[in-house]
Amino acid sequence: MMGRPEASCVYTARMPVKAKNDAEKPRNSSARKGAMTYAASGVDIDAGDRLVDLIKPAVRRTHGQRVMGQHGGFAGMFRLDFNEHIFQRNYKDPVLVACTDGVGTKVKLAADLGIINTVGIDCVAMNVNDLIVQGAEPLFFLDYLGLHTQDPVVTAQIVEGVARGCEIAGCALIGGECAEMPDIYAEGDFDIAGFSVGVVELSRAIDPVRARSGDVLIGLASSGVHSNGYSLVRRIISKRKLSLDRNYEQLGKQTLGEVLLEPTRIYAQPIVKLLRRYRVKRVVSAMAHITGGGLAGNLPRVLPDTLDAIIDRSSWEVPSIFTFLQKRGDVELDEMYRVFNMGIGYVLAVRPTFADSVLRQLRSSGETACVIGKLKKGTGKVQMKGL
């Protein structure tokens, strides 16, 4: 866990040691009246230190026996071989996999609505969903939070969301950083980014060259807009004067704001469980996390240039939030599919003879899964049928 930088640190700073007979004296006070202080400049070190204690229970809930070191150290430590027998059974030639991502302008909606306890889940999801595309098991996570002013109670809500996301993903939150920068962020604004590290056995790492013509494409349902396309979403809201607090008939019982802030679905544990089921057979040939760019922009990233992905658009029901945004914003259908996930958040390419088995296992893990297409000889493109 990191030390203190040019701003108050979140859950990585060490708690101050109080001097004898000075237990109640604030650390940012000055004996000389009128002297300049860090707090007066907009950075409250004491607030950061209070936050360390507030979030300790949430962070600790994500820790297993492989996490080492004390809460508040300079760096997080994680043992790969806590149980040597188990580790050697799973990994003969381990490869570390790492990625980083953020939540984008979805945080602006969260700040405007004052609902900030779920964007941490989004941050974890955007990272670990990328990580598992390589076939990796998420190990640990770190986050970075930049904001205008440090309010320990408010900031704790964001970090607790990150911790909850780590619990869902099955990884440990071993460090993080909070940068209090009033000259950079407007009052009430913040941004969050995350960093994830995982491990995969070299021989089982997903490699696009394994994909073959005839492989079946299985789509996993998204939970909504996830964390991409929010600049367009916010523009539609602004231009059409939509209310985030209103219940629109097309969206059911939730308000527009609640629907848009639904956390990004985390697919990590169902995918890791599925891959462990097939230790010898190469059943899954490719996977893709459907983020900005939609199906057409993300599937080509994991396909060889000799195959096309043929998508049957009629094979799943598009969530109502997308048709709502399309009609209210007068957005072309092609543009909707180019920007949003349109109801499919993750895709697997699997061997045809195992498609039914994979579907059953994913559904038993709680996923809404269906066949959305197949691979065939081509040039590495996506063909959308039924639009």
Number of domains present in the structure of the chain: 2
Q: Are residues 149 and 294 in the same domain?
A: no
Q: What is the pLDDT of residues 74-115, one digit of tens each?
A: 777 888 776 656 566 667 888 999 999 999 999 999 999 999
- For the segment 235-250, the average pLDDT, to the nearest whole number, is 96
The mean pLDDT value for 294-309 works out to 96
Contacts of 145 by beta carbon, 8 Å cutoff, 6+ apart: 10, 155, 158, 159, 176, 177, 178, 179, 190, 191, 192
Q: Taking residues 149-162, what's their average pLDDT?
A: 90
- Enclosing domain of residue 378: 208-385
- Mean pLDDT over 134-151 rounds to 93
Residue 358 lies in a domain: yes
For 164-212, the pLDDT digits (tens) are 999 999 999 998 888 889 989 999 899 999 999 999 998 888 887 889 9
- Across 166-185, b (16+ Cβ under 10 Å) vs e yields bbbbbbbbbbbbbbbeeeeb
The SS3 call for residue 167 is helix
The residues near 349 (Cβ < 8 Å, ≥ 6 apart) are: 211, 215, 216, 217, 218, 284, 285, 286, 287, 302, 375
How far apart are alpha carbons 90 and 272 in whole angstroms? 12
The reported pLDDT for the residue numbered 92 is 83
Least confidently predicted of 133-142, 202-211, 290-299, 334-343: 202-211
Confidence class for position 16, pLDDT limits 50, 70, 90: very low
Same domain, 266 and 345: yes
Distances in Å between the alpha carbon of 186 and those of 5, 64, 135, 153, 183?
A: 20, 38, 40, 19, 8
Of 137, 170, 204, the residue that ends a domain is 204
Choose among 285, 293, 147, 313: nearest CA to 216.
285
44 DSSP assignment: -
Does residue 226 sit in the same domain as residue 348? yes
Do residues 116 and 242 both lie within one domain? no
Compute the mean pLDDT over every residue in the chain, rounded to the nearest whole number.
Answer: 87
CA nearest to 82, candidates 98, 93, 68: 68
Of 147, 175, 204, the residue at which a domain comes to its end is: 204
- Cα distance between residue 207 and residue 287, in whole Å: 9
Instruction: Give the pLDDT confidence of 21-58 residue by residue, as tens digits.
Output: 443 344 444 546 777 766 666 666 666 667 766 777 77
The domain spanning residue 106 has which CATH number? Answer: 3.30.1330.10
- Model confidence, pTM: 0.86
